[in-house]
């Protein structure tokens, strides 16, 4: 009872919901959770039965966190595309809508793609990739706008056993080049342009710039806006031309459960982004099962996850999770505030959305515009709301619950990561009361543990009780990432070396007496800006590439809308002077190097950075100054030059 917190008892009783869907009630949760830990193999063998296997697995879990070697269902053979697409058609459900496409322009053409059409489109896409020369095991980079063809491309790769690496359409040419090079991808699938909030995004032009640095064998270009693009003879192909005469039949390649499915780059606390690798069988079981239980899906419902397919949330809950369940998923090309701040709610009514899954940053930015944008819409089809990507502050939670959900429908706050493949901590809509600001309880098979800096166990499911510490997971689950592509040592170092034998999430967390987890944010040098995960080191590397910058230190600070903002301390080379012009230039510079999501909020020029005598930048102090909490700087005795701190406080930006 030592670590009780005032919010622990803010309970919102779950609205009574009839268990008509795929979810479970409180009693079932308790029994299933118990079994998932006590008889893990039995539990997962049973969940895996909802997947169509070419050869059913007999070995279920086979993993070790020391040394790190993770395998699930390893003698099973399957194809995830068959499971997400074909089997629904074979079961006579081909007429059911798989994807609804809502374009950026509200008066543009809506597309409804049935499972039968999806099967045809994916087969054609797969044959087009083959025609280009793509073979099993090849890495295919996908840099697409939010259009169904992005999902077709992913599923087509899965169908033929190629490994997809999707890059968010907001990333820069340099970011593309780095990722293409890292996984040695010979092929890129892109579109002429993307469209967001009526702005055109030059996707193909960005790919061209990337390919000047890192050449590839082939670029497949989907014509979306019809904008002008340059096509390079021999390398670039229009999708509509290359696909025109391919066969409509394409068999699904039998894959071993542990064959790679995709690589997704994500930020860590140091250096360049890591290519997190997910494999086939475990990821299929995990996304199928989490979607099923967390969203309590019912036949014919429309599920809308507002993420981009360039992030893991889009992979798991626009494409794989919903389609594995035979659900109808909405894909939205646009942004929440175009043409106006009620676009989300307009789309909910237009497509009769039942389950809506978005990020706290979107909720906060819409909340700021006032309730009227929400209340002028009916929203009566909504049955469940979800949140993901960052901690949701209780105020935003209440607005979401009361204003959008009319205090009648449950909210699930789902904690998970690129590395976890799917949802790990959440309440289940038919099983649990909610606590605004808490992600909730451990999902089936998940064993969270809170440890202190020395690795001492403070609380877990076995000990119970409340404590705050660093969040580890002590046993593997099917959707866990298996490695960092091409660099298993880095995988081991990053996730399994801080606390030997445990997976360390990088997040701080509190557990309360009711077994609810409250994520407190990252404890490493990773920041979360509008739900986009970014390493401060990435922004620093971009800054020091500028010829006038000598050194840079980047920290996050609380930002009302974005969750965290980007605060950069910059020292210039001798002879270069700070100016407003240079400040603007550096902002542009980072945008260009990484992408618009990394645009610094504040650039603070300083003659020097506070360092220890051994030369380590004291980030703790820089964070405090950026947070405007200069009254509590803590111990500054190890500083080489304490005077610099006074200067920084006087000249700080975020007042």
**Can you say which residues are annotated as belonging to the binding site for Mg(2+)?**
544, 546, 549
Closest CA to 357 of 297, 406, 310, 407: 297
Q: State the nearest-atom distance from the C-beta of 21 to ligand 6R9, in Å.
A: 21
Name the residue nearer to ligand 6R9 (CB basis): 365 or 418.
418
* Chain residues 207-266 in contact with ligand 6R9, contact rule CB under 6 A: 266
Name the residue nearer to ligand 6R9 (CB basis): 40 or 418.
418
Q: How far apart are CA 376 and CA 365, in angstroms?
A: 18
Greatest extent of the chain over all pairs of C-alpha atoms, in Å: 74
Q: What are the residues whose beta carbons fall under 8 Å from the beta carbon of 211, sequence distance 6 or more?
A: 177, 188, 219, 235
Give 455: exposed, middle or buried? Use CB within 10 Å, 0-12, 13-18, 19+: middle
Is 192 a binder of ligand 6R9 (CB under 6 A)?
no
Name the residue nearer to ligand 6R9 (CB basis): 71 or 274.
274
Is 522 a binder of ligand 6R9 (CB under 6 A)?
yes
Closest CA to 221 of 203, 233, 209, 234: 203
Give 614: exposed, middle or buried? Use CB within 10 Å, 0-12, 13-18, 19+: exposed
Is 388 a binder of ligand 6R9 (CB under 6 A)?
yes
Binding residue ranges: 196-199, 313, 337, 389-391, 413-418, 507, 522, 530, 533, 544, 546, 549, 591
Q: State the nearest-atom distance from the C-beta of 536 to ligand 6R9, in Å.
A: 14
In 312-466, at which residue ranges do the beta strands (DSSP E only) sit?
Answer: 328-332, 355-358, 384-388, 411-414, 425-426, 441-442, 448-451, 457-460
Name the residue nearer to ligand 6R9 (CB basis): 384 or 519.
519
Q: Considering CB under 6 A, how many residues would be counted as binding ligand 6R9?
A: 23
For residue 524, report the phi and psi dihedrals to the nearest 5 degrees: -110, -170
Is 450 a binder of ligand 6R9 (CB under 6 A)?
no
602, two tokens: 């504040």
Q: Which stretch binds ligand 6R9 (CB under 6 A): 173-181, 344-352, 414-422, 646-654?
A: 414-422
Is 507 a binder of ligand 6R9 (CB under 6 A)?
yes
**What single string gives the DSSP state of each residue in 436-480?**
TT--BEEPTT--EEEE-TT--EEEETTT-S-EEEEEEE-S--TT-
Rg (CA), the chain: 24
Question: 3-state DSSP helix/strand/coil percent for the chain, to nearest 5?
Answer: 35, 25, 40
Q: State the nearest-atom distance from the C-beta of 590 to ligand 6R9, in Å.
A: 19
Q: State the nearest-atom distance from the C-beta of 204 to ligand 6R9, in Å.
A: 26
Is 305 a binder of ligand 6R9 (CB under 6 A)?
no
Is 418 a binder of ligand 6R9 (CB under 6 A)?
yes
- The residue behind tokens 């390398």 is 235
Binding residue ranges for ATP: 389-391, 413-418, 507, 522, 533
Q: State the nearest-atom distance from the C-beta of 523 to ligand 6R9, in Å.
A: 9
Q: Which stretch binds ligand 6R9 (CB under 6 A): 34-42, 372-380, 491-499, 503-511?
A: 503-511
Name the residue nearer to ligand 6R9 (CB basis): 157 or 294.
294
H or E element that contains 637 = none
527, two tokens: 């920041």
* Chain residues 309-348 in contact with ligand 6R9, contact rule CB under 6 A: 311-313
Residue in 414, 470, 494, 564 binding ligand 6R9, rule: CB under 6 A: 414
Q: State the nearest-atom distance from the C-beta of 409 to ligand 6R9, in Å.
A: 18
* Chain residues 159-188 in contact with ligand 6R9, contact rule CB under 6 A: none
Q: How far apart are CA 283 and CA 478, in angstroms?
A: 6
Residues in contact with ligand 6R9 by the rule CB under 6 A: 266, 311-313, 387-391, 413-418, 439, 505-507, 519, 522, 528, 533
């Amino acid at each position: 009872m030592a670590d009780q917190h005032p919010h622990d008892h803010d309970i919102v009783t779950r609205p009574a919901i009839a268990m008509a869907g795929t979810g479970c009630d409180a009693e079932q949760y308790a029994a299933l959770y118990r079994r998932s830990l006590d008889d893990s193999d039995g539990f997962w063998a049973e969940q895996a039965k909802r997947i169509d296997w070419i050869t059913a697995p007999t070995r279920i879990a086979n993993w070790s966190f020391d040394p790190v070697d993770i395998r699930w269902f390893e003698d099973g053979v399957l194809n995830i595309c068959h499971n997400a697409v074909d089997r629904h058609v074979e079961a006579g459900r081909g007429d059911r809508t798989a994807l609804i496409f809502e374009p950026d322009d509200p008066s543009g053409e809506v597309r409804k793609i049935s499972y039968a059409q999806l099967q045809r489109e994916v087969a054609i896409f797969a044959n087009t990739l083959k025609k280009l020369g793509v073979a099993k095991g090849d890495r295919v980079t996908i840099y697409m706008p939010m259009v169904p063809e992005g999902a077709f491309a992913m599923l087509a790769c899965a169908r033929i056993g190629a490994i997809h690496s999707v890059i968010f359409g907001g990333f820069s040419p340099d970011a593309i080049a780095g990722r293409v090079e890292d996984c040695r991808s010979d092929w890129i699938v892109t579109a002429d342009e993307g469209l967001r909030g009526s702005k055109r995004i030059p996707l193909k032009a960005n790919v061209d710039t990337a390919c000047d640095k890192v050449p590839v064998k082939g670029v497949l270009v989907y014509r979306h806006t019809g904008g002008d693009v340059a096509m390079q003879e021999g390398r670039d192909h229009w999708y509509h031309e290359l696909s025109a005469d391919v066969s409509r039949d394409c068999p699904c390649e039998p894959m071993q459960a542990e064959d790679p499915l995709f690589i997704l780059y994500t930020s860590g606390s140091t250096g360049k982004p890591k290519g997190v690798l997910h494999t086939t069988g475990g990821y299929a079981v995990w996304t199928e099962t989490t979607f099923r239980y967390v969203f309590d899906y019912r036949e014919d419902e429309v599920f809308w996850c507002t993420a981009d397919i360039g992030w893991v949330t889009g992979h798991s809950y626009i494409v794989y999770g919903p389609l594995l369940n035979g659900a109808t998923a909405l894909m939205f090309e646009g942004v929440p505030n175009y043409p106006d701040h009620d676009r989300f709610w307009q789309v909910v009514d237009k497509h009769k959305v039942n389950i809506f899954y978005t990020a706290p940053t979107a909720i906060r930015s819409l909340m700021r515009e006032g309730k009227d944008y929400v209340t002028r819409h009916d929203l009566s089809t909504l049955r469940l709301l979800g949140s993901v990507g960052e901690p949701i502050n209780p105020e935003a939670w209440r607005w979401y619950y009361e204003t959008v959900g009319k205090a009648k429908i449950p909210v699930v706050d789902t904690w998970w990561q690129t590395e976890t493949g799917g949802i790990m901590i959440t309440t289940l809509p038919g099983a649990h009361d909610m606590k605004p600001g808490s992600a909730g309880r451990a999902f089936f098979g998940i064993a969270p543990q809170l440890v202190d800096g020395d690795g001492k166990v403070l609380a877990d499911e076995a000990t119970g009780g409340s404590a705050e510490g660093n969040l580890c997971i002590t046993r593997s689950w099917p959707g866990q990432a298996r490695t960092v592509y091409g660099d298993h040592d880095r995988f081991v170092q990053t996730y399994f070396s801080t606390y030997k034998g445990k997976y360390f999430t990088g997040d701080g967390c509190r557990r309360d007496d009711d077994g609810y987890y409250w994520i407190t944010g990252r404890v490493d040098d990773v920041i979360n800006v509008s739900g986009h995960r970014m390493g401060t080191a990435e922004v620093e590397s971009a800054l020091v590439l500028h010829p006038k910058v000598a050194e840079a230190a980047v920290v996050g600070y609380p930002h009302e809308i974005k969750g965290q903002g980007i605060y950069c301390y910059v020292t210039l080379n001798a002879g270069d002077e700070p100016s407003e012009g240079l400040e603007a230039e550096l902002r542009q510079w980072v945008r260009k190097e990484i992408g618009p999501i990394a645009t610094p909020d504040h650039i603070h020029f300083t003659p020097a950075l506070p360092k220890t005598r051994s030369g380590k930048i004291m980030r703790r102090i820089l964070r405090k100054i950026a947070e405007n909490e200069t009254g509590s700087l803590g111990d500054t005795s190890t500083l080489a030059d304490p005077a610099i701190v006074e200067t920084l406080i006087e000249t700080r930006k975020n007042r």
